[in-house]
Amino acid sequence: MSLRKPVFHVQQSTIGYCLPACAQMALAYLDIEVSQVRLAQTMGARPGVGTPFSQIAALSKWRVDVQVTEWQGIEQVASALEAGMAGIVAIITTPGLPQ
């Protein structure tokens, strides 16, 4: 059994900041502190609307390796966690939104 760092929950500061909030949690897991507002600005978040998931690539500004892969199963998520990677899983709940 491996020991994992705790992941702390951060609530989105305004409607539409879901991805910046997720990014803030993932970066914090990697010991990188960035405000949600700065992440939202960097990622082009639109208050009340959201942020296309493709904007996750903007996190490379903080010298992190950003990989976007298609879902292959829970085993892939487990492997990433075991390797000490921080992950954000996009779940599309509204068809037709830009990704």
The pTM (predicted TM-score) of the whole model is: 0.79
Q: Mean pLDDT, to the nearest integer, of 66-88?
A: 80
Q: Mean pLDDT, to the nearest integer, of 40-52?
A: 93
Closest CA to 46 of 16, 20, 75: 16
**31 token code pair:** 């010991």
Domain ranges of the chain: 18-82
Q: Mean pLDDT, to the nearest integer, of 46-54?
A: 91
Q: Write the burial class of residue 93 (CB in 10 Å: 0-12 exposed, 13-18 middle, 19+ buried).
A: exposed
Closest CA to 38 of 54, 62, 7: 62
Residue 74 has pLDDT above 90, yes or no: no
Tens of pLDDT along 10-40?
999 999 999 999 999 999 988 999 999 999 9
